[in-house]
Amino acid sequence: MDTRIYVMTHKEIAEISDEIYIPLQVGRAGKQALGYIGDDTGDQISEKNLFYCELTGIYWLWKNVKCDIIGICHYRRYFTRQEKLLDKDYIEKTIQKYPIMIPNSSCVNEADAFCHYAKRHNGKDLELCREIIQKKYPEYSAAFEYAMKSVLVSTCNMWITRKDIFDRYCSWLFDILFEAEKEIPFWNYDDYQKRVMGFLAERLFRVWLFLQPEAITEEHMKLMDPSELNHAKKRADLLYQCVKMKMKPLLGLYQTDAVEGSFVQPFDCRDDFGGKIPVWVCWWQGEKEMPEFISGCIRSIRMHLPEDITVLKLITLENCMQYVTFTEKVIQRFNEGNITYAQLADLLQAELLYRYGGMWVDAACFVTKPIEKNVFEQQIYTLRFQASFCEADITKGRWCKKVWYTRKGYQLFRFLTESLWYYWEIEDKMIDYDLVDPIIAVAVDEFSDIRKDLEKCEYVENTMFLKHQWMNQKYSPERLRILAEKGTFYKLNMQEVYRKELITGEQTMYGCLFKESNDYYSRKNQ
C-alpha cells in the first residue's frame, strides 16, 4: 500500500530514517525553500498560512496528492508506540480494523470544550462556526452541541486515515472555514490569535468524527524532535560499550574459566517455599504503603498463578535480608543515596533468581489470564519480541526484565549479580539509571549458552504496554478480549493516575479490571 505520513514544518528538521515520513514545508509561498516539498504548487492556499497554520499543508495534500493511507504529524509532535514512531506495518494493520487513527483525547480543565476555547480565543468565532453548520450542514448541529459540551478535545490537527476519508473531511472542513473567514476580524488579532482557523479546525474535527461510520482508535502523541531518535540510539550504543569495558576484568575471569564457584556465598534461608516455586514481587514499603493500582496488579498476579506449584513471595525492606545478602558497598551506596530503590530492586532480582530460581514479575505488571504451567518447566523464560520497543532499545526484543523465570543457579543471573556487585565495588555513582539491560546484553553477546537458551523462548506479541494506553478509556468487552488474546503480562505506568470511572460515570478499563481482581478475592475469602 502507498502509505505516507506528512510532517508539517516551517523549519529544517532532523532526517527521519523511515521513508514513509515526508517533510512538507507549510506556508512556503514567499518564503525561502527548505529543500522539502512545499504547499505552494498546484491548487493551494499557502499564502494563508498565517491564519490557517498547518491547514495550508492539509489543503494542499487534499487537492494534490494521491495515496492509499495518509497521515499528518508536526515537526515536533509525532504518533508513537512504545517510544517508537508508528511504522508502515503497524499503521496498515491498524487501519484495516480502525480506518481513523487520532491522538489521545485531552481533558479540558474548564466546564466544557466551548469554555476552554472561549477562555483562550474569541468565542464568537466558534459561535460563527455553529451558525454556518446549522445553515450548511444541519445534520451536524447536534454533533456540534455535543462536542462543545464535552470535556474532551483532539488537538494539533493530526490523524492517520485512508485518503478517501481524509478527502471527505477536508471537503467538509474547508467549506465551513472559508465561509467563516469572510466574517472573522483578523485585523484585530495579534500574531498568535491570527492562527484562528487552525484553532477552530481542532474543535471542528471532533464534530465531524461523531457522524462518521468508520471505527476510530486513539494513538499516543509525543512532543519530541526527530533528532532524539538518533541521539537515543547513539547513547544506548555508548552505554553498552562503557558497561562492557567496566566488566572486562570479570568477563576475563569467566572466559578463562578462572572463576571457581560463585562470589555469591551460601546463605541460610529458612524459607523452603512449602516445596513450591517462588514467584517474586517487590514493593519496598510493604502492603500498607502500597498504591491502590499496585495492590490490584499484585492481586492479578496471584489470582493467575497455578496455586498447586507456585507461591507468591512479596519482598519488602523489612524482609529482604531473609533472602539476600547484598554487599557492604551496596548497602553503603544505598544509604548514601547513590543507589535508588529501583536500582536496589535490580540487585534484589538478580540475587533472588540466582540463589533460588523461580519467577520474577514487576509489581506494576497486570496479569490478564492464567500463567501456563509449562512456563515453570523451562530452563529460562522471558517475554521475547520480534521487534524492539524503540531504536534505542538495547534488548532488541530478546528479553524483558519485567518478567523472568529461571532455575536456581542459572549462569545469566550469577553473572548479573556479580557484575552489579563488582560495579559498586569500583564505582560510587550510576553511569545510567539502568545497568541491568546493558549487562544482560553483554552476557548474551559473550556467552553462547545463554544466547541459545534465550532463543528457545517463544516470541510473544509486543503488546506489553498496550494496557497502559487503554486504562483510562471507556470499558469495552472487545478491548478486554484483545488483552486476553494478545498477551498475559501488561506493564502499567507508575507516574500515571488511573481512574475507575470517566467523568460521565462510565466504567474505565482500569475500573473493570480492578473490580475483577477484587471480586475474585471476595469470592475466595467467603
b/e burial code for range 97-131 (CB count within 10 A of at least 16 → b): ebbbbbbeeeebeeebbbbbbbeebbeebbebbbe
Parse the chain into domains and list their residue ranges.
Answer: 3-225, 268-466, 470-488+500-525
The whole-angstrom separation of Cα 208 and Cα 195 is 21
pLDDT at 479 over 80: no
The whole-angstrom separation of Cα 25 and Cα 18 is 18
- Read off the pTM: 0.64
- Residue 450 grid cell: 545463554
- Cβ contact 246:438 at 8 Å: no
| pLDDT tens per residue across span 65-79 | 999 999 999 988 999
In the 8-state DSSP scheme, what is residue 372? Answer: P
Nearest CA-CA partner of 85 in 12, 3, 20, 9: 20
The whole-angstrom separation of Cα 386 and Cα 381 is 15
CA angle 482, 486, 488 (to 5 degrees): 110
Nearest CA-CA partner of 450 in 465, 460, 440: 440
N-to-C CA span, the chain: 56
The whole-angstrom separation of Cα 434 and Cα 105 is 32
Strand ranges across the sheet with 277-282: 310-315, 277-282, 358-361, 403-406, 380-382
**pLDDT > 90: percent of the chain:** 62
Nearest CA-CA partner of 499 in 292, 289, 299: 292
Of 119-123, 238-242, 391-395, 441-445, the range with the lowest mean pLDDT is 391-395
| pLDDT tens per residue across span 188-229 | 999 999 999 999 999 999 999 999 999 999 888 888 777 666
Give the H/E segment covering residue 4. Answer: strand 3-9
Average pLDDT, the chain: 89
**Domain 3-225 -> CATH class:** alpha beta
Torsion of CA 459, 465, 466, 469, to 10 degrees: -170
Q: Return the pLDDT at 361.
A: 97
Torsion of CA 181, 70, 37, 42, to 10 degrees: -50
The whole-angstrom separation of Cα 361 and Cα 367 is 10
The reply to whether 268-466 shares the fold of 3-225 is yes
Q: Does domain 268-466 sit in CATH 3.90.550.20?
A: yes
